[in-house]
Amino acid sequence: MEKQKLGTSTDRVTIRHVAEHAGVSVAAVSKVLRNAYGVSGALRAKVESSIDLLKYRPSTAARAMRGRTYTVGILVVELVNPFVPVLLESIDAGLDKVSYKSMVGVGRAAMKIETSMIESMIDTRMDGLILIGPQISGAVIAEYAKQIPIVVLAHHEPQARVYDTVNSDDMRGAEMAVEALAARGHSDIAMLSYFGGQSPASVVSVAREAGYRSAMARLGLGDRTRIMRLSHEPERREQELVNLLRQENRPRAMFVWSDLDALPLMAACHEAGVDVPGELAIIGYDDCETARLPFVGLSSLNQNPQALGLHASELVLSRIEGREEARHILVPPTVVLRRTA
């Protein structure tokens, strides 16, 4: 069969061109692109060779007209948290197994921006959405989930019926942090959280605060329960940490809701000459890359982002394939003790 030649360098290569070049049917090329079951190695090699030679890129618009775009939108609250890029990589790895691509948007912790981006992702015919730490309420998410398959991470709402959730077991993780400090002989254990106002139970920090209170009560330390809070304004936090360390009744050990604040607390201790862990033991949550550096050595709760991302990608793909019953997964965290506790 004579291979079809493209007229000019600006002609767009289509799936039909790939099929003719490889000497197979359009349906066969489609199966390779979808990573469909039953595709032989020989067929895959032949089609992928033609795709590479012709520099074929599937048209998202054309795929949308046929019902699928093979894209998943990912909305993150922010990118400053070093835990997020690792999570994104694990989600991408899960999607890539079936030749799905992802597009990432940043909501910047603003509900208006989040809703606008979700609506744009729906309008561009993405097949599903993964939301990471959204600021919008579960009720709003549920409305969007009627239009598109949705999986939410860092959002505890096990009663949700139209979308799925994947979370670290934040309540149990906080309990483990307190237990680890108590096992080191500490009884004056406070928690450092942030000012959440009337945050719903779905918020990660609220679940961790519940775990802290539960563990303190179970260990007979309920009367020593203290939750100290930092404001949302970054420019105020540094001074708030300084003020905390100057308190006469400063706690002997602290569980910090996230490494995002545990690391600045360590820096404030260094500046103030407070020995860690000699005068103040610290354990965070996330086990980010910085925490693992030898000269940092922050004790922390590892959330297993690889498992979180894989579960999220599997759930959104099965939603896309038609699953309707809700699934809510809790991934057990692990205590990683280093020099700060």
pLDDT at 3 over 60: no
Instruction: Indicate whether 293 belongs to any domain.
Output: yes
CB atoms within 10 A of CB 154: 25
Instruction: Indicate whether 112 belongs to any domain.
Output: yes
* Over residues 269-287, mean pLDDT: 97
Instruction: Indicate whether 1 belongs to any domain.
Output: no
Do 110 and 164 fall within a single domain? yes
Instruction: Indicate whether 243 belongs to any domain.
Output: yes
Do 196 and 289 fall within a single domain? yes
Do 136 and 89 fall within a single domain? yes
Instruction: Indicate whether 160 belongs to any domain.
Output: yes
pLDDT at 249 over 80: yes
* Domain around 119: 67-169+305-330
pLDDT value at residue 13: 81
Report pLDDT digits (tens) over 294-317.
999 999 999 999 999 999 999 999
Q: Which domain CATH number covers 22? A: 1.10.260.40
| Residues facing residue 125 across a β-bridge | none
Do 237 and 309 fall within a single domain? no
Do 236 and 283 fall within a single domain? yes
* Over residues 320-333, mean pLDDT: 95
240 Cβ neighbours under 8 A, 6+ residues apart: 230, 231
Instruction: Report the number of distinct structural domains present in the chain.
Output: 3
Report pLDDT digits (tens) over 78-128.
777 888 889 999 999 999 998 899 999 887 666 788 888 898 888 888 999
Report pLDDT digits (tens) over 164-210.
999 999 999 999 999 999 999 999 999 999 876 667 888 999 999 99
* Over residues 150-154, mean pLDDT: 96
17 Cβ neighbours under 8 A, 6+ residues apart: 4, 6, 54, 56
d(C-alpha 167, C-alpha 308), whole Å = 7
pLDDT at 214 over 80: yes
* Over residues 323-327, mean pLDDT: 95
Instruction: Indicate whether 335 belongs to any domain.
Output: no
Do 211 and 259 fall within a single domain? yes
Q: Which residue has the higher pLDDT, 2 or 202?
A: 202
The DSSP symbol for 154 reads S
Q: Which domain CATH number covers 316? A: 3.40.50.2300
Do 19 and 43 fall within a single domain? yes
Report pLDDT digits (tens) over 45-55.
998 899 888 88
Instruction: Indicate whether 98 belongs to any domain.
Output: yes
pLDDT band for 65, please (50, 70, 90 cuts).
Answer: very low
Percent with pLDDT over 70 in the chain:
91
* Mean pLDDT estimate for the chain: 89
Cis preceding-peptide flag for 264 (omega within 30 of 0): no
CB atoms within 10 A of CB 126: 24
Q: Which residue has the higher pLDDT, 57 or 273?
A: 273
Do 290 and 179 fall within a single domain? yes
Is the CB of residue 328 less than 8 Å from the CB of residue 315? no
Do 232 and 255 fall within a single domain? yes
pLDDT value at residue 9: 42
| Sequence letter at residue 169 | D
Instruction: Indicate whether 20 belongs to any domain.
Output: yes
